Amino acid sequence: MIPFNKPYLSGKELEYIKEAVVSGKISGDGIFTKKCHDFFKNHYGFQKCLLTTSCTDALEMAAILLNIQPGDEVIMPSFTFVASFEAVLSVGAVPVLVDVDDSLTLSPDAVRKAISSKTKCLMPVHMCGSMADLDALVSICREHKLVLLEDACQSIGASYKGKYVGTIGNAGTFSFDFVKTITCGEGGVVMTNNEDVYIKCDGYSDHGHDHKGVDRGADLHPFVGYNYRISELHAAVGLAQIKKLDRFLEIQKRNHSQLKNILSQVSEVSFRQIPDPTGDSCTFLSWFLPTEETTRAFVNEMKAQNIFAGNFYWYDNNWHYIRKWDHLKNSTTLHLLNNEQQAALKKLQSQDFAASDAIMSRCISTAISLLWTGEQIKEKGEKMVAVIKKVLSEQTVTS
């Protein structure tokens, strides 16, 4: 069995957890949380950041503190993770889903067509390790005076023209769940250069505490907040992981390049468009076959040979593509949606995503493991190439 998405743990994680437990301070405001904050500020160039329990919470809090109000429209891609629209719905705002292009991220043309008088925010989601066309999206935001909130959950370490994704918009978020490049087990982070946003974020994430007292009991509460604080135990795991980020990225890029070279032997295989190829974090190799029929045949044959693990056919995926989100389109929630939200979700039932379908129905994303050896990559790539050639030859014979 070739591993594909198991976290790369070195042993420091357990050492740091023990240290946190011995300290007796595990509530989320200890030394490991502080060191994680310091890393992100120093490494990514943000003045302020705040670790949270998850990236879903980070997105929700960022939306609130960027003044995204009930009824405001937030434009996001049809290919994302469900947390993106969940966070928008949770603050009473309206998710407006639009087509992706062959970068697998927001199509700037689709964004322009979707802007209305109610549009408040663009939320590019930097899927599968790469990045959206941020020059185009920043330009749109400036033209229409919109907020840019980057969901960079899947692309920690990726960059766009010399700047890290997540640092280019008004705020950015990362995820640290167990399948990300670095993990806390669960966790997220909000990053911003806006002092007012940070101060509100700091209080809002901790029940509205202003953190100006000598202890929590002395704090005042200038506003109502909630509890989005990461635990010190999760931060301890995160600190051990963060210190290895550059090494992880180096490994991912090497493994990505080796696998891509093998698949490139097949002329019918093409690859996703990367707005800035040098900035790809290479968590996935995303590639295309000529037709949906060929792609489905590849998926079926890989499953028949029990070698599909680590490959993702997003078109049929329940978590990541609009096609399978019946719970969203049917407004199946356990809490009340406002009128604007209900109307927008009803519209999704009949909205045409043909442009996205044409891309996603032909796309396979292969997760790049940090644990692969060179021989395992060669074995995996050669098996994939053999299956691709098999289905292509069979379709040639039957056509």
Residue boundaries of the structural domains of the chain? 12-245, 246-317+356-398
pLDDT higher than threshold 90 for residue 326: yes
The residues, ordered by sequence, that sit 6+ positions from 204 with a Cβ below 8 Å of its Cβ are 61, 64, 65, 223, 225, 226, 228
pLDDT higher than threshold 50 for residue 4: no
One fold for 12-245 and 246-317+356-398: no
Mean of the pLDDT values across residues 69-74?
A: 97
Q: What is the pTM for the complete model shown?
A: 0.93
| pLDDT tens digits along 287-300 | 999 999 999 999 99
- What is the C-alpha separation between 85 and 56, in angstroms, rounded? 9
Mean of the pLDDT values across residues 218-245?
A: 89
What fold is seen in the domain 12-245?
Answer: Aspartate Aminotransferase; domain 2 (3.40.640)
What fold is seen in the domain 246-317+356-398?
Answer: Aspartate Aminotransferase, domain 1 (3.90.1150)
Q: What is the pLDDT of residue 5?
A: 56
Cβ-in-10-Å burial (0-12, 13-18, 19+) of 136 comes to middle
Q: What is the pLDDT of residue 23?
A: 86
Which residues belong to the active site? Answer: 180
Range of lowest pLDDT (1-5, 264-268, 290-294, 327-331): 1-5
pLDDT higher than threshold 50 for residue 1: no
Mean of the pLDDT values across residues 60-85?
A: 95
Q: What is the pLDDT of residue 29?
A: 74
Residue 212 contacts residue 220 (beta carbons within 8 Å): yes
Please report, for residues 65, 91, 92, 189, 195, the alpha-carbon distance to residue 69 in angstroms, rounded to integers and kept in the order given. 10, 7, 7, 21, 20
Place 62 in a pLDDT band, splitting at 50, 70 and 90. Answer: very high
Q: What is the pLDDT of residue 117?
A: 97
**What is residue 157's three-state secondary structure?**
coil
| pLDDT tens digits along 239-285 | 999 989 999 999 999 999 999 999 999 999 999 999 999 999 999 99
pLDDT higher than threshold 50 for residue 111: yes
pLDDT higher than threshold 60 for residue 2: no
Please report, for residues 17, 105, 165, 286, 310, the alpha-carbon distance to residue 313 in angstroms, rounded to integers and kept in the order given. 37, 16, 25, 10, 10
pLDDT, the chain, mean: 92
Place 211 in a pLDDT band, splitting at 50, 70 and 90. Answer: confident
- What is the C-alpha separation between 167 and 192, in angstroms, rounded? 7
Mean of the pLDDT values across residues 176-197?
A: 86
